[in-house]
C-alpha cells in the first residue's frame, strides 16, 4: 500500500497544503535627494566671513563660478570651510594608433616564410 506523509494514498480527507510564498516586486533603490540653498559670494574670504549657525552648514558659490564653498559651524563656535575649485574637464585620451602593429595573419605568413612551412598544416615546403 502506498503512503502519503503517513496516510494511505487514497485517504479521502487528506489534502497536502503547500505554503504560499508571495514574492515582493523588486524596487529600485533611489538615493535621497538633498535640496540645498546655495548663496553667491565674492570669493573665499567672503565665504569664510559668512555667518553660519552652530551645527549647520551653508553652501556657497563664487560669483565667477570658480569654486564652491561649504562652511560648517560646530557647536563650540569653530567652523570649517571646504573649497571645491572648478577645473576644466580632462582632455580626451588620444586614439590608439595600431598601424605599427602586425596582425595575427601577417605574423603567421612571416613566420611560415622564415621557417619554410605552409600555413595550413605547418608542413615543410
Residue pLDDT, tens place only, 90-100: 999 999 988 88
- pTM comes to 0.50
Report the number of distinct structural domains present in the chain. 1
Is 85 within a domain?
yes
Is 117 within a domain?
no
Each residue's pLDDT tens digit, 20-57: 666 666 777 888 888 889 999 999 999 999 999 999 99
Q: Which structural domain range is residue 43 located in?
A: 34-89
Is 78 within a domain?
yes
Is 120 within a domain?
no
Residue 22 to residue 8: CA distance in whole angstroms: 31
Q: Which residue has the cell 605568413?
A: 109
Each residue's pLDDT tens digit, 52-93: 999 999 999 999 999 999 999 999 989 999 999 999 999 999
Is 56 within a domain?
yes
Is 59 within a domain?
yes
Residue 38 to residue 69: CA distance in whole angstroms: 9
Three-state DSSP state, 110: helix
Q: How many CB atoms lie within 10 A of CB 73?
A: 17
Is 15 within a domain?
no
Is 61 within a domain?
yes
Amino acid at each position: 500500500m502506498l503512503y502519503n506523509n503517513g496516510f494511505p494514498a487514497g485517504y479521502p480527507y487528506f489534502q497536502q497544503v503547500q505554503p504560499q510564498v508571495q514574492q515582493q516586486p523588486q524596487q529600485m533603490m533611489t538615493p535621497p535627494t538633498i535640496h540645498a540653498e546655495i548663496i553667491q559670494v565674492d570669493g573665499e574670504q567672503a565665504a569664510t566671513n559668512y555667518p553660519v549657525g552652530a551645527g549647520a552648514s551653508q553652501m556657497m558659490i563664487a560669483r565667477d563660478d570658480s569654486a564652491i564653498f561649504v562652511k560648517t559651524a560646530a557647536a563650540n563656535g569653530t567652523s570649517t570651510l571646504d573649497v571645491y575649485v572648478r577645473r576644466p574637464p580632462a582632455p580626451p585620451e588620444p586614439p590608439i594608433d595600431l598601424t605599427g602593429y602586425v596582425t595575427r595573419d601577417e605574423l603567421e605568413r612571416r613566420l611560415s616564410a622564415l621557417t619554410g612551412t605552409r600555413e595550413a598544416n605547418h608542413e615543410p615546403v
